[in-house]
A = this chain, B = another copy of it.
Amino acid sequence: MNFDVITLGETMLRLTPPGFQRLEQATTFDIHIGGSESNTAVGLARLGRTVAWLSRLPSNSLGRTVAATIGRFQVDVSHVVWTDRDRLGTYYLEHGKPPRASQVLYDRSNSAMSRMQPDNLPTTLFQPHRARLFHTTGITLGISKSAEATALRAAELAKAAGWLVSFDVNYRGKLWSTAEAQPSCLQLMQLADLVFLPIRDAQSVFNIDDANSEIIINRVGAIAPNSTVVLTLGAMGAMARTADGKLFYQAAFPSTDVERLGSGDAFSAGFLSGYLEFEDIATALRWGAATASIKHTIPGDLPLVHRHEVESLMASASPTDIAR
C-alpha cells in the first residue's frame, strides 16, 4: 500500500482530570492519546489522504491502545516498531481557564520512542512510489539523541526518494532549551520543503527580537531559503512565505474553545491536505485555518473533523444552525 503522507513521532498516553479539576482533586482520569505527528496523521486521514504513522511502541496494553486508537481512524500503523523493553511516555494534562494556565506534567523519559534508532526505519518504505510527503516535528528532535538521528535519517531518505519533506518546529521548553533546539531544527529545515512554526517559536528559537509578523517570516525565510515557511499567529490567523519571497495571509475562522490542544497539528493536517490536493499555498492556508478552527471545538488532541465540515466552514464562515 502506498501513502500520501508518512509521519514520524512519539505518541503518549494522556491522562486528564474531568471538568477543570486540578490534578490534586481528581479521582478519575479521562484517557486520551496525544502526539503531534499522529494528530496530524489522523487529521490528514479524515480529510481524505492516505497516511502511515511511524514510531516505536512497547508491546503491552498501553502501546497497543495507542496503535489501535490511531489505526481506528484509518491511519496505517503496520510499520510501527514494537519492543518488549521500554515504556510508553505519559503526560498529565490539567485543563485551566484564564488566568489559570493549562498545565502539562510530562512523564516521558526513557520511552520506547526515545530509544528508536535510525536502523529501526523501514527502509523498504522509503521508495519513490510509496509516498508523496514526509512530516515530522521538533518534538521528535528534542526527545533524545537517537530520536533526533532517526528523524534526520528519515528526512534524508524521504528527500532521496523524491518526496516532499515537511517540518513543524513545535518547540517544547520542557524538553530542551532554545539553544539546544536551534541547531537541531536548522538541520532539518535545510531538508524541508515546508516549515511550520508558531510565531513565539520563531522569536524564541531563532532569536528574532521583533513583533512584526512580516519581518519575522522574512527572517525565517532567510534561515530556510529553500522552504515555504508557514507562520501561525494564533487568533490572528496564519501567514506563508514561498522560497521566492511571496507572502500569503489567512485570517483565523471564529471559533469556540472546547479544547485547544492539538490545534497546531490540526492546522498542519489541513494545510498539508489542501497543499497536496490543490497545490496552492493560499488554498492550503485556508484549509489549515478552517481545520484548526473546527478542532478547537473537539475534546481530546485528535482533530476528528469531517471533510464536509471544513468545506462548509470555508464556504460560509458563519456557524451553521443545528441541522435537524
Interface residue ranges, A against B (CB under 8 Å): 15, 18-31, 60-62, 64-65, 68-69, 71-73, 87-88, 90, 92, 94, 96-107, 109-110, 172-174, 200, 253-258, 260-261, 293-294, 297-300, 304, 309, 313, 317-324
Assuming A105-B60, A260-B322, A323-B104, is B24 touching A65 (CB within 8 A)?
Answer: yes
Looking at the assembled complex, report how far the CB atom of A126 sits from the nearest CB atom of chain B, in whole angstroms: 22
Residues of chain B with a CB closer than 8 A to A300's CB: 25
Q: A99 contacts B317, CB within 8 Å?
A: yes
**Count of chain copies:** 6
Residues of chain B with a CB closer than 8 A to A88's CB: 107
Q: B24 contacts A68, CB within 8 Å?
A: yes
Q: Which residue of B lies closest to A319 (CB)?
A: B98
Within the assembled complex, what's the spacing in Å between the Cα atoms of A125 and B297? 41
Q: A99 contacts B294, CB within 8 Å?
A: yes
Looking at the assembled complex, report how far the CB atom of A136 sits from the nearest CB atom of chain B, in whole angstroms: 18
Within the assembled complex, what's the spacing in Å between the Cα atoms of A313 and B309? 38
Looking at the assembled complex, report how far the CB atom of A258 sits from the nearest CB atom of chain B, in whole angstroms: 5
* Closest CB pairs A-B (n = 8): A98-B319, A104-B324, A23-B61, A97-B256, A101-B320, A100-B297, A72-B72, A102-B322
